[in-house]
Amino acid sequence: MTLSFSLVAVTVLVSVAAFTSVKAEDTRCFEMRIYHAAEGKLDALNARFRDHTCKLFEKHGMTNIGYWMPLENPDRLLIYVLAYPNREARETSWKEFAADPDWVAAKNASEKDGKLVTKADQYFFHATDYSPAIAPSAGKEVRTYELRTYTCTPNNLKNINARFRDHTVKLFEKHGMTNFAYWNLDEKQPAAKAGETRHDPANTLIYILAHKSKEAGLASFDEFRKDPDWIAAKDASEKAAGGSLTEKDGGVVSVYMASTDYSPTK
């Protein structure tokens, strides 16, 4: 009787452990916003985020994931990612944020000598099923981040996602890179503005890696590209697809970034 009970208990515990080990689907809405600061206003823009905006985002139900600036930043860019429970919650949060008297006061005070932002780009994402859990994180040492955007050849987004899921993310880790987040674009994106090119949700993969430094990131990719396991996976995937999974010109774009001092991800 005691033995039977013990066996049942062990079976239940194993079943629970197996169930809880399955990664829950991340159904949140993610938004990447890229701000182009006015000439001479990037420091003021960062100060407004540091002193006001980030706290007010959290007040209105938004999750600050990370804030970065390109290492080479002639266009005065600030890149950041927010998370929301869903797209409807996002709309409600931004409406409440825009009407918050504390935000209105901070915005007006910071713009008494002119606007801080000349243009803002928006992209809405959902996490891929192979992305690690996307959450703010801080390393023991200062890290350099890399934003990579892939434009796939027609009908190959599913194939490149499969290659990342089955091979690439593991090989990145093998070669010293840290997988931070992987996203595909949501179908409903903001309309393109005049003269602006929009990424197509049907063929775009966007992800972020963390490295010890830009030099370390470049060295890791050199090793990765020479790895026989990568070469085999790449060749097999391209043979099955009948060619490259990414566009030849501009199919892979890399931007190395540093976290801002107020970013929850460093």
| Domain assignment of residue 198, yes or no | yes
| Domain assignment of residue 178, yes or no | yes
Identify the sign of the CA torsion 70, 76, 81, 86: negative
Tokens 């080990």 identify what position?
A: 21
Q: Structural domain of residue 161, as residue ranges?
A: 29-259
| Domain assignment of residue 14, yes or no | no
Alpha-carbon gap, residue 122 to 25, rounded angstroms: 24
Residue type, 195: G
| Domain assignment of residue 2, yes or no | no
Confidence of residue 136 (pLDDT cuts 50, 70, 90): very high
Mean pLDDT of the chain: 92
CATH, residue 217: 3.30.70.100
Task: Say how many C-beta atoms besides its own lie within 10 A of residue 163's C-beta.
Answer: 21
* pLDDT digits 0-9 by tens, 7-20: 444 444 444 444 44
Residue type, 189: Q
pLDDT of 235 above 60:
yes
The b-or-e profile of 37-51 (16+ CB within 10 A means b, else e) is bbeebbeebbebbee
Let me know: does 156 contact 240? Beta carbons within 8 Å: no
| Domain assignment of residue 4, yes or no | no
Alpha-carbon gap, residue 126 to 187, rounded angstroms: 10
Name the pairing type of β-strands 144-151 and 204-211: antiparallel
Give the pLDDT score at 139: 82
Backbone angles phi, psi at 247, to 5 degrees: -60, 145
Backbone angles phi, psi at 263, to 5 degrees: -65, 135
| Domain assignment of residue 264, yes or no | no
Q: Which pTM value belongs to this model?
A: 0.90
| Domain assignment of residue 224, yes or no | yes
* pLDDT digits 0-9 by tens, 54-110: 999 999 999 999 999 999 999 999 999 999 999 999 999 999 999 999 999 999 999
Total domains in the chain come to 1
| Domain assignment of residue 91, yes or no | yes
Confidence of residue 199 (pLDDT cuts 50, 70, 90): confident
